[in-house]
Amino acid sequence: SQTIHQWPATLVQPVGSPLSLECTVEGTSNPNLYWYRQAAGRGLQLLFYSVGIGQISSEVPQNLSASRPQDRQFILSSKKLLLSDSGFYLCAWSALDDNQPQHFGDGTRLSIL
Amino acid sequence: EDQVTQSPEALRLQEGESSSLNCSYTVSGLRGLFWYRQDPGKGPEFLFTLYSAGEEKEKERLKATLTKKESFLHITAPKPEDSATYLCAPLVDRKLIWGLGTSLTVNP
């Protein structure tokens, strides 16, 4: 069966510090991968998605970036965090075929001080 | 503009008291509609996919239905463990359009 791992579960970072969140998927090949942010009282906001190694689409202009160095690894990064980057970050995968459901990790709660 | 509205925002039920959650959508080119359950501090958990109007899916106490403009999640004889936020998301052009969810509390 497929599993998705996301870490860390909780992170507290000072303003201006760098960020690296990692997500890996097991039990499937060539998945579509997604990064979302969920702010309190707001819906899930799609940040990035990837249909293959090195292929990244950005949905929202911001100081975050994403990379996919391996087929089942997806990384969310920032060079300098802003207060507004606080939130709940979720990684998800779906099968490469169109119209398939997305499956989520347990998220990272990021607090910027 | 693609829009999704879920109602009610919050719902409190007694154990065994059946009810329905609504997901109304206005989108162009619906490819499917997904229902998820989200527990506090966790990622959404996939429940159902509905692909065409008239389709129904069931899982334990939950049944999801779809029309051309809305979807319903019916909860029959809920238990306290059904307490969670329920999210719906139409799929448009390979992207999910997320509602804000219905927060369901089931009291024993």
- In order along its 113 residues, chain A shows pLDDT tens digits of 889 999 999 999 999 999 999 999 999 999 999 999 998 778 899 999 999 999 999 988 678 999 999 999 999 999 999 999 999 999 999 998 778 899 999 999 999 99
Q: For residue B31, what are the domain limits?
A: 3-107
Total domains, chain B: 1
Domain boundaries A3-112, corresponding CATH code: 2.60.40.10
pLDDT of residue A97: 78
CA dihedral B48, B51, B53, B55 (to 10 degrees): -50
Residues from chain B that touch A107, judged by Cβ atoms under 8 A, are 41-43
Q: What is the CATH number of the domain that holds B96?
A: 2.60.40.10
pLDDT < 70 stretches in chain B: none
pLDDT of residue B1: 85
> Within 13 Å, how many C-alpha atoms sit on residue A63's CB side?
14
Domain boundaries, given as residue ranges, for chain A: 3-112
Instruction: Compute the count of residue pairs across chains A and B with CB atoms less than 8 Å apart.
Output: 45
Give the DSSP letter string of A64-107: EEEEEEETTEEEEEESS--GGG-EEEEEEEE-SSTTPPPEE---
With contact defined as beta carbons under 8 Å apart, do A82 and A96 qualify? no
pLDDT of residue A98: 73
Q: Which of B6, B35, B46, B51 to mutate to test the interface with A (most CBs of A within 10 A)?
A: B46
pLDDT of residue A61: 67
- Tell me which residue in B34, B87, B98 faces A101 most closely, judged by beta carbons: B34
User: Could you give the CA distance from residue B87 to residue B67 in angstroms, rounded to a whole number?
Assistant: 17
Contact yes or no for B41 and A107 at CB 8 A: yes
Chain B, residues 20-79, CB within 8 A of chain A, namely 31-32, 34, 41-46, 49, 51
